[in-house]
Structure 1
Amino acid sequence: MPATNGPLQAILERAHRIPGLTHFPGVDEITRRLDALAAEHPDLVTRRRIGTSRLGDPITMYSIGTGPDEALVYAGVHPNEPIGFWTAIRLAEDLCADEELRTGCRWNIIGCIDPDGTRLNEGWFDGPFNRVHCLEHFYRPAPAEQVEWSFPFQYKTAYFDQVMPEAFALMRVIDELKPTVAVSLHNTELGGVYYYVTKELEGFVAELHAIAASFGLPLELGEAETPVARPLGPAVYEMISAKATYDYTESLGMTPYSSSGGSSAEYAERHGTVSLVAELPYWTHPANDDQTPADEPYAGVLVRMADALGNDIDVMLEIFAAARPHLSGDSQLVRATDAFLPYLAKRPERDRLRAAKEDPARIATVAERFGLTDVHRSFRLRFGGMLLRALEGEIARGSAAAAVHPLARRMRSLYREWQDEAATLDHELRTVPIKDLVGVQYAATLALLGAVRREAS
């Protein structure tokens, strides 16, 4: 473990005590574990229903400790990102067991803010933990149905006010608590560790680096998740926002996407809340932090991968357009596919415009080239899998028109080719132990409160 200061060392010692974990908990297990904790510690845990999902699941918050600080931690804002479910559970358990940990702060923990979406991912939560299996059972809500990105938003020509019940529940909690810190529990898929924070805090970037290093995880030093992200240090970025994304898209001469809203962090900033996102990967690759030059200009990689992604999106759009009149409108998978494919179809154009502004002499790093290549691989596995589930789900429910059957067979054949290509990378990937992923997120959460307290002292 690298040398760290006293407070961070104590945090890391707690984080490294997280036991081995062999699966991700689904909605019912999350509720069962947190309810049992509340029943065991009625003097410490306040259990409160804060909302109801669109399909009728209760959404519950568990509060532990006393103020004056208020911390808000919420998991499942993207229901395909389950590391945070364990982080929320472990944090609640430790708060009940350790008086020192809860001194001076009331921790408000939402174990799962999107139960409906989470249930559509539970098909891979018990493994096997390989990329092909994971992404074949992947579900990500349409942008306007993501809790993280469905907060009210008005900027220039963009306007969004179709706030879902789940996001509205979180809004009410934010306005009530006016939290000192908020941690939205996310994770990525393959790569290194990276972070977003809404405020530069002295010494915090170094602490975030030390946390990842203590678990032997690389930082993500390749292509940023979005060109909008402003680095505060290696693999640490200022929190991305809907406004910044709008301005960047507009600067390229493109029409900004305006069918979703702002983020939870943007909303919480009105209360002076400092928010953190720690992005953790299930798998790492040796190229993730390789800063050596590749043998290809960066602009050339952008164009090459834009063309490859564009070709695959065009095929999926063709299949979906032919099937759409025969698919059920009440399916979350259909709605998500209907939103994502046109949205993703704009990315190749954006990347070609980016390439035109790049210095043609700049050589890509190995990490950048691998990252851009893998975005293409990931997108077609993710969203091709969702399209396939939408088609085969219609057939499985016994309501599919005859036209859907050949489209499903075509998509299944294409998807197998993509799976076979992805599987050739398996021998190069390292599967990160779940306990280490939870440990990094847990430690970063505690370190954020410490950094904000230092800043205020």
Structure 2
Amino acid sequence: MDEVAARAAVLAVRGSGDVRLRRVGVSRAGSPLWLLSLGRGARQVLVVAGPHANEPVGGATVLRLAERVLADPRLTVGADATWNLLLCLDPDGLRRNEGWLTGPYTLGRYFRHFFRPGFLEQPEWLPDGAARAALPETRALLRLQDELRPFFQCSLHGVDVGGAFVELTRDLPGLSRRVARTAARLGIPRELGPFDTLHWPRLGPAVYRIPPPRPGDLAAAITEAAVESTWYHPHRYGTVTAVVEAPMWGVAAAEDDSRPADRDAVLRAVSGALRHDAQLLERILTRVRPHLAATAEAARLLAPVGDHLLVCPALADAWDPATADPRRPLPPLSTAHLTALRIAGRRIAVRTAGLLHQLVAGSGRDPAGALPELDGLIDAWCAGYQDECGARWIPVARQAEYQARIVLAAFELAGRAPAEPARARSGESDWGSHPAVPMHRE
């Protein structure tokens, strides 16, 4: 986080008056939220890095974007645009991941140092609506959106294991071709069946439409991304939002669009493994909880553990052909979809094991004897990602280059696209009757 801020400050000092760095808020722990603005155009662009604490590539991407924008006046003067780059939305959470950011980049090191706050402490979400947003980071972003009223907004995300894809609040025709070309040139697999978007409309290969928010309880908000969010908050201004996902460890099968030989057998195996893993982790949690100090540190780590274990039964039931709700049928599934579900089920388990490992190791004592068991689970599950899924590390430079190119492509297409009718901007659309479906947000 400090490196990103320092490099942005250098750009601001070296640049003319067309480059400004200002503080737009502070985090819960008092860290500044920095906004780097380039250009003086009337049309505002907002790019948000670091909305999820464990997805750090956005920091590298915004610096790369700043260099591109400064080098090419067609992106500012020529487009009558101002680029506003929020360096990190959750600096507190990102700092908690710095244990693995220096490498070596192995899955075991990543998951043992993994941190992402519980759902209610993730600043992009508005579970109680914008007017009642509780987090200072969220309020800062909302103020910024209302100030800028951007025509284009981009949220930079990362996929720990899987492939690249984009989610949009409005179609940008031609983006899927740009994604395919960019991913192929950089050797990054696309994700053609992300489990985040299992029931969302596909706008093209690896490009999906985000449905407007729907009411629901906390479990629904976590699993369906149905809650109101900062993705949709500026929709009233005609903003199109793009969520750009770049993988850290790529899996080639994530873009295998072939028809599986036995879909139901895979679904039964995936849901069965998720049930088994969740029950195993519940038992470990029961053993270690009495020995954890009642501190803010323990509560902070237990919140995402609770979220993960909360959604496991519903997800397993939704994926299992024997228990799936007939009112919410699964769409036709390709090998890519099944690969994504296999990765997602294991992801929930290994993230939970990593958080529990940190809890026990951080307490300085292990009377329940959980650390060796957790170490064994993390090692086995990470080996499964590599041996069964073929997960391979993608260098940071390629992750950031992919993300920067997709942001620039989406910016270009958003500039060409006609504004949405007022009816759609007001949130009235034909999505209201779309059934709620269980998912678990990346």
2:113 equivalent among 126, 137, 153: 137
Note if 1:293 corresponds to 2:259: yes
Identity of aligned residues (%): 30
Cα RMSD after superposing both structures: 3.0
Deviates more, 1:180-189 or 1:336-345: 336-345
Q: In structure 2, what is the equivalent of residue 303 of structure 1? A: 268
CA distance in 1, matches of 2:305, 2:208: 29
Note if 1:196 corresponds to 2:167: yes
1:109 equivalent among 79, 85, 106: 85
Q: In structure 2, what is the equivalent of residue 21 of structure 1? A: none
Other structure's SS at 2:195 match: coil
2:378 equivalent among 412, 415, 422: 415
Q: How far does residue 372 in structure 1 lie from its aligned partner after superposition?
A: 2.2
Q: In structure 1, what is the equivalent of residue 432 of structure 2? A: none
2:44 equivalent among 48, 70, 78: 70
CA distance in 1, matches of 2:70, 2:221: 44
Other structure's SS at 1:311 match: helix
Q: In structure 1, what is the equivalent of residue 285 of structure 2? A: 320
Q: In structure 2, what is the equivalent of residue 157 of structure 1? A: none
CA distance in 2, matches of 1:74, 1:360: 34
CA distance in 2, matches of 1:142, 1:359: 27
Q: How far does residue 223 in structure 1 lie from its aligned partner after superposition?
A: 4.7
AA aligned to 1:220 is: E
CA distance in 1, matches of 2:328, 2:221: 27
The answer to whether the Cα contact below 8 Å between 1:132 and 1:422 also exists between their aligned partners in 2 is no
Q: In structure 2, what is the equivalent of residue 384 of structure 1? A: 353
The answer to whether the Cα contact below 8 Å between 2:272 and 2:316 also exists between their aligned partners in 1 is yes
Q: How far does residue 185 in structure 1 lie from its aligned partner after superposition?
A: 0.5
Note if 1:47 corresponds to 2:11: no
The answer to whether the Cα contact below 8 Å between 1:198 and 1:274 also exists between their aligned partners in 2 is yes
Query: Normalising by structure 1, what TM-score?
Result: 0.81
AA aligned to 1:153 is: G
Residues 194 and 59 (structure 1), Cα distance of their counterparts in 2 relative to 1, 3 Å cut = same
AA aligned to 1:303 is: R
The answer to whether the Cα contact below 8 Å between 2:249 and 2:392 also exists between their aligned partners in 1 is yes
Q: In structure 2, what is the equivalent of residue 94 of structure 1? A: 68
The answer to whether the Cα contact below 8 Å between 1:299 and 1:359 also exists between their aligned partners in 2 is no
After superposition, residues 12-411 of structure 1 pair within 5 angstroms as 27-103=1-77, 104-150=80-126, 152-153=128-129, 161-243=132-214, 246=216, 256-257=220-221, 261-296=227-262, 298-325=263-290, 326-331=292-297, 332-352=300-320, 355=324, 357=326, 365-395=334-364, 403=367, 405-411=368-374
Other structure's SS at 2:241 match: strand
Residues 150 and 123 (structure 1), Cα distance of their counterparts in 2 relative to 1, 3 Å cut = farther
CA distance in 2, matches of 1:274, 1:184: 11
Residues 162 and 69 (structure 1), Cα distance of their counterparts in 2 relative to 1, 3 Å cut = closer
Q: How far does residue 368 in structure 1 lie from its aligned partner after superposition?
A: 2.9
Other structure's SS at 1:185 match: strand
CA distance in 2, matches of 1:40, 1:107: 17
The answer to whether the Cα contact below 8 Å between 1:44 and 1:96 also exists between their aligned partners in 2 is no
Q: How far does residue 281 in structure 1 lie from its aligned partner after superposition?
A: 1.2
Deviates more, 1:378-387 or 1:113-122: 378-387
Q: How far does residue 120 in structure 1 lie from its aligned partner after superposition?
A: 1.1
Residues 196 and 420 (structure 1), Cα distance of their counterparts in 2 relative to 1, 3 Å cut = closer
Deviates more, 1:74-83 or 1:438-447: 438-447
Q: How far does residue 66 in structure 1 lie from its aligned partner after superposition?
A: 1.4
CA distance in 2, matches of 1:183, 1:431: 25
Q: How far does residue 255 in structure 1 lie from its aligned partner after superposition?
A: 7.1
1:454 equivalent among 416, 420, 435: 416
CA distance in 1, matches of 2:414, 2:39: 18
CA distance in 2, matches of 1:447, 1:264: 22
AA aligned to 1:211 is: T
Q: In structure 1, what is the equivalent of residue 407 of structure 2? A: 445
Residues 172 and 360 (structure 1), Cα distance of their counterparts in 2 relative to 1, 3 Å cut = closer
Other structure's SS at 2:70 match: helix
Q: How far does residue 375 in structure 1 lie from its aligned partner after superposition?
A: 1.9
The answer to whether the Cα contact below 8 Å between 1:80 and 1:138 also exists between their aligned partners in 2 is yes
CA distance in 2, matches of 1:364, 1:385: 30
Q: Deviations over 1:137-158 (max 9, x none)?
A: 111111111112246439xxxx
CA distance in 2, matches of 1:98, 1:189: 32
Q: How far does residue 350 in structure 1 lie from its aligned partner after superposition?
A: 2.7
Deviates more, 1:352-361 or 1:320-329: 352-361
Q: Deviations over 1:23-52 (max 9, x none)?
A: xxxx11111111111122252222211111
5+ residue gaps, structure 2: 420-442
